[in-house]
Amino acid sequence: MDAFEYASPSTKEDAVKLLASRAGRAAVLAGGTDLLSLMKDRIVSPARLVSIQSIPELKGIRQEPGKGLKIGALVTLEELTDAEVVAREYPSLRQAALGVASPQIRSVGTVGGDLCQRPRCWYYRGGFGLLALREGRSMVVEGDNRYHAILGNAGPAYFVHPSSLAPALLVLGAKVGIFGPKGPREAGLDGFFRIPQREGETERALLPEEIVTHVVIPPAKGLRNATYEVRQRLSLDWPLAAASVGLAVEAGQIRSARVVLGHVAPIPWPAPEAERALTGAAADARAAERAGEAAVSGARPLAGNAYKIQLTKVAVKRAVLRALGQEV
């Protein structure tokens, strides 16, 4: 690990100043479960680490009447799973957090860190860059791509988005709070993630001198929501495919639906085809199965990852059944 400066400000204003004064050579330190690994492998070598752990307003879970739930960026995954309001109204979010199967990581990993973590692509982690290009050609397409994207992979990005929480938060209509030199802003989470098109771009719409401060989730209002992940091992591992769903059900019929896929595309991937398959359908297993089929209708598997199509179908079907209380 290369030498670096360390700063621990007590306000978000000071944190932003410390980031800005290093002109892109500073990094935000929250739980550190991802950043420190990247630094040890010299994938990133920030000249300054700005710890935000001492900023009180970035902590805590608060239910605001009429506005929904505000979750501080420093809330740990363990705090998220322990919160009664999350378990009661936003089970998809709790299920996603519990998918991080290591209690040690859940105790230090944060909500903001989960949204901002970098891809687990072994080409990126091996030092070949986010797009893994060599002489203008993708190493992923011509190499080992068994864990890469089957959706949103028309190029040049083939990695899969690593966030456990993002699909559920998107289904729940969450917004992300951001603070930077120009002050606070709040943006829909669907605009926070992006697919990089050239070297130097990142997979999130966050400037180097900005920090994530919180996430706001609107009131659930009876929305039936759930997350289901398919993984190789139930112990600490990243899913091979995941799905989060939100359903409005009335008199046994699905009135509206939201479906977002995880770990199968460079961003959390909305599945409008699956939503159309569910909307107006009877709330039963047949609708769940049709939604799974529809979710992968646009999939473009690479040479080594076609198996992910079936896993994604299963994730969608079981997430729908879980949301309907029909899980087997």
pLDDT in tens, 243-284: 999 999 999 999 999 999 999 999 999 999 999 999 999 999
pLDDT in tens, 20-49: 998 889 999 999 999 999 999 999 999 999
In the prediction, which pLDDT does 200 show?
A: 87
In the prediction, which pLDDT does 234 show?
A: 67
Residue 304 backbone zone (phi > 0: left; psi -120 to 50: alpha; other: beta):
alpha
> 125 CB contacts (<8 Å, ≥6 apart)?
38, 41, 43
User: Quick check: 101 pLDDT over 80?
Assistant: no
CATH class belonging to 56-328: alpha beta
Nearest CA among 91, 87, 61, 64 for reference residue 76: 61
Q: Where are the domains of the chain?
A: 56-328
In the prediction, which pLDDT does 2 show?
A: 86
Mean pLDDT for the stretch of residues 162-186: 97
Mean pLDDT for the stretch of residues 187-202: 93
Rg of the Cα trace of the chain?
Answer: 19
Contact between residue 172 and residue 89 where contact means Cβ atoms under 8 Å apart: no
In the prediction, which pLDDT does 105 show?
A: 87
Contact between residue 176 and residue 187 where contact means Cβ atoms under 8 Å apart: yes
In the prediction, which pLDDT does 163 show?
A: 96
User: Quick check: 233 pLDDT over 80?
Assistant: no
Mean pLDDT for the stretch of residues 137-149: 96
